[in-house]
């Protein structure tokens, strides 16, 4: 109940929405969706909120805006807690399937392809995340699909993310159907939900950088660059949709299933907001 009471105070503080964030939220219902204009508006918002922080630095998430947390994070990076997940992911990635083929037969010689995901598959009419692509590779080669959020799939994703470091997101939205999926993800992001009546932007745009109990709210710009992530409270590496579920639960809303259309479109929108930014995953968070 202490968390709820404190969150109620936090909610009261976000009733007066800043004009810039309000314009972004209002445009979620605009049928003339313009993803690139949205991305630029978000970048402008962060330039105004944090004029002394370079936009490229937001790839580091909350560590870009909190000097003390950044110092602790950089020390932790000497022996990062996700290192074992990378090693295990590499072994899994290079282990041949029973039919003699491997992930390289699906993805090519370079596993560093995370900067291209999620993508919109025109043939199937929906968003494909990297985790879906990994499991489809397995199933096409006679292997069972892996659980979506943690474990071996997250380890393989961590290895592929590590090999994608230094590359920039190159997310394409190049058809009316892709725009519609993006717009659905955007609508999800700016829709209030749960008993707490929060939207994603409540914490990550309107009150970004402020304290919510013991946590500093992280910036939405660059949110997609660090995943998958080792979180101290988890004690393992998990994918971004695990965090989506956790956030929904924290605002007392019913979470959606992993890789549901809702979460895939949300990931598509959120990643496009970081388009052009450098990947630095896997990451570590509290």
> In degrees rounded to 5, what are phi and psi of residue 126?
-160, 170
Residue ranges of alpha helices (H) inside 141-210 are 152-162, 176-189, 200-201
- Here the tokens at position 197 are 């009546």
Q: At what angle do helices 35-49 and 19-26 cross, to 10 degrees?
A: 170
Separation of alpha carbons 147 and 154, rounded Å = 9
Residue 275: which of 23, 42, 13, 17 has the closest Cα? 42
Token look-up 């560093």 returns 112
List of residues 6+ apart from 156 with CB closer than 8 A = 89, 92, 93, 103, 134, 146
Residue 137 annotated to the active site = no
Short-list 170, 86, 95, 87, CA closest to 137: 95
Dihedral sign for Cα atoms in the order 83, 203, 212, 70? positive
| Cβ-proximal residues to 91 (8 Å cutoff; 6+ apart), any chain | none
What is the Rg, in whole angstroms, of the alpha carbon atoms belonging to the chain?
19
The separation between the first and the last C-alpha atoms of the chain, rounded to the nearest angstrom, is: 22
Catalytic-role residue among 106, 137, 200, 247: 247
Asked if residue 59 lies in contact with residue 280, where contact means CB atoms within 8 angstroms, the answer is yes
Contact indicator for 29, 41 with CB cutoff of 8 Å: no
Q: Which sequence positions are flagged as catalytic?
A: 247
């Amino acid at each position: 109940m202490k968390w709820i009471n404190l969150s109620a105070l936090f909610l009261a503080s976000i009733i007066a929405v800043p004009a810039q964030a309000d314009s972004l939220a209002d445009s979620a219902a605009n049928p003339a969706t313009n993803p690139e204009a949205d991305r630029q508006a978000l970048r402008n918002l962060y330039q105004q909120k944090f004029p002394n922080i370079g936009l490229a630095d937001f790839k580091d998430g909350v560590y870009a805006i909190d000097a003390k947390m950044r110092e602790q994070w950089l020390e932790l990076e000497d022996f990062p807690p996700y290192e074992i997940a990378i090693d295990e992911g590499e072994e899994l990635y290079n282990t041949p399937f029973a039919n003699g083929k491997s992930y390289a037969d699906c993805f090519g010689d370079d596993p560093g392809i995370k900067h291209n995901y999620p993508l919109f598959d025109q043939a199937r009419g929906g968003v494909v995340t990297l985790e879906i692509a990994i499991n489809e590779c397995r199933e096409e080669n006679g292997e069972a699909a892996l659980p979506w959020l943690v474990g071996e799939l997250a380890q393989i994703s961590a290895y592929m993310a590590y090999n994608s470091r230094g590359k920039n997101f190159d997310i394409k939205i190049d058809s009316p159907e892709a725009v519609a999926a993006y717009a659905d993800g955007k609508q999800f992001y700016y829709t209030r939900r749960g008993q707490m009546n929060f939207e994603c932007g409540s914490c990550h745009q309107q009150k970004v950088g402020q304290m919510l109990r013991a946590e500093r709210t992280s910036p939405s710009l660059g949110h997609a660059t660090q995943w998958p992530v080792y979180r101290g409270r988890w004690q393992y590496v998990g994918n971004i949709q695990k965090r989506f579920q956790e956030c929904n639960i924290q605002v007392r809303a019913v979470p959606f299933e992993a890789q549901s259309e809702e979460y895939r479109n949300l990931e598509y929108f959120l990643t496009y907001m970081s388009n052009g930014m450098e990947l630095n995953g896997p990451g570590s968070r509290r």
